[in-house]
Amino acid sequence: MKATSDLFDLIKSLSTNEKRYIKLRGSLQSGGKNYLKLFGAIEQQASYDEGQIKKSFSKERFIRQLPVAKTYLYQFILQCLRTYHENKRIYSRLRAMLESTELLIEKKLYQQAKKLIKKGKETAEKYDQRILLLEFLTIERTLFSITAYKTMSYESLKTFFDEIDQQIDLISNYFKYLRINSTLFYLNQNPGKAPRKNIQAFFGESISNELMQDIKYAPTYGAKTLFYSIYDQYFSFINDEQSSTKALQKFISHIESTPHMINDEPHNYISLLNNYAVRVIKSQKQSEVESILKKMRQIKSNSAHLKAKVFTRSYNIELLHLINMKQFDKAVSICEEIEGQLDSAHINPLFKTVFEFHFLRAYFGIGEFKRSLDYCNTMLNSNEQKGFIAFISATKIHELIIHHELGNLMLLPSLYQSTTSFIKKQKVQNDIEIAILKGLNKFFLLEDRSLEKDLLLKFKNELTVLKGLEEYCLYYFDIIYWIDGKLCQVQ
């Protein structure tokens, strides 16, 4: 049987605190601790190597049944994680309360079970955990049947089952919204999986659905969340950015109206703020960007993963905003502040690549071309570049211009050819980049500098008619700003 990396992947996903807790729990157990030796060995590996594991423990008896030891360790880690996170999320706390209630009923401690059911129902209602609320009602019915419903009147029995019907209706309503939202998301993320005509038809049908005509048809927190998400996706699909931004504003107001939900699920709130910030950056509304950054950074947590998410999203937004506002000095000061923190184990390597791209743009903006070139080289030699073809294309264009600015003119012909070849090989639409390269090549080859102004103006006019230029300038390289700078030098 082929060895899988499931155990390795699980161990590598653990935070420092989680590892410490698992080792502590293991050390307190009686009996052999071979699984802890296995844990330590796998923890030290950069990539899973079962052959090395067998070699390291060749004299240990447990190695003869390595699959059994791996399974035991895998289950032990999951058990520890459940205990470690039990009180951190409402869902986990409610599940624990359900198990405790069942144990109390088994022990015939019915009054204690009744108190816990009451608390569980109230908590589930507050946090919109309808399915778990239905489970509490199911256990409550079990408790009633044990006592032969002697404590209930006929009316209270009817009210009890009316409550069950109500919760089933609310759950059904939620899943109707979830179906629409999930299908829209799937079609947005996988455009090639269905014909464009079918996708347009489904988007149109979805927004015409009776459920989408008024927020009143979404009675629960979860249903309202999906209602706003559907409208955001719809307006994004039809490229109505103004309506999409308004939908996001309502979405955020809805989330912020229930602070306890943010505390329980902060990741969704951060992602929402991040999406809204990108829209705001395009309109260059500095005060709004600062307000979003403040909200993000006010989220406090002991979770290393959440801290990393706040760090990456907030600084990504701040750098993108400063570069878009051409406040390159401020951007560079942020770069210097955070550069040393990018090697944290909890920061996704892909985000490290994004930050390195911001760094090269910031230093390019203040004219420190050699420093910018260092980041170009880092980007082009990165193992993560395959996931960021657009960034790599833009990096190559920066590299071309930097060598021109540094006077390395002998390098330009070969760099131009390799960059053009790279961009043309990509499967994504690249009209803007091809136009930029053609214009740059004409600029580099111009011998009569008295014609420079006319050439630059023509270059600029050819670019401004291209669809998507504004977004390209925001995310990758503001070629118009660079051309304007050259025109100022000429004049």
Weakest-pLDDT range from 287-296, 335-344, 421-430, 477-486:
421-430
CA distance 263 to 70: 35
For residues 300 and 270, is the Cβ–Cβ distance under 8 A?
no
pLDDT at 334: 95
Q: Residue ranges per domain, the chain?
A: 6-84, 153-238, 388-491
List of E strands, 177-265:
none
- For residue 62, pLDDT over 70 is answered with yes
For residues 148 and 136, is the Cβ–Cβ distance under 8 A?
no
pTM of the entire predicted model: 0.78
- For residue 109, pLDDT over 90 is answered with yes
Task: Note the pLDDT tens digit of each residue in 342-375.
Answer: 877 577 778 888 999 999 999 999 999 999 999 9
96's CB contacts (< 8 A; 6+ apart) are 86
19: confidence class by pLDDT, cuts 50, 70, 90:
confident
Phi, psi of 303 (to 5 degrees): -75, 125
Task: Note the pLDDT tens digit of each residue in 313-348.
Answer: 999 999 999 999 999 999 999 999 998 888 775 777
pLDDT at 1: 38
Q: Which of 172, 292, 275 is nearest to 228 (CA)?
A: 275
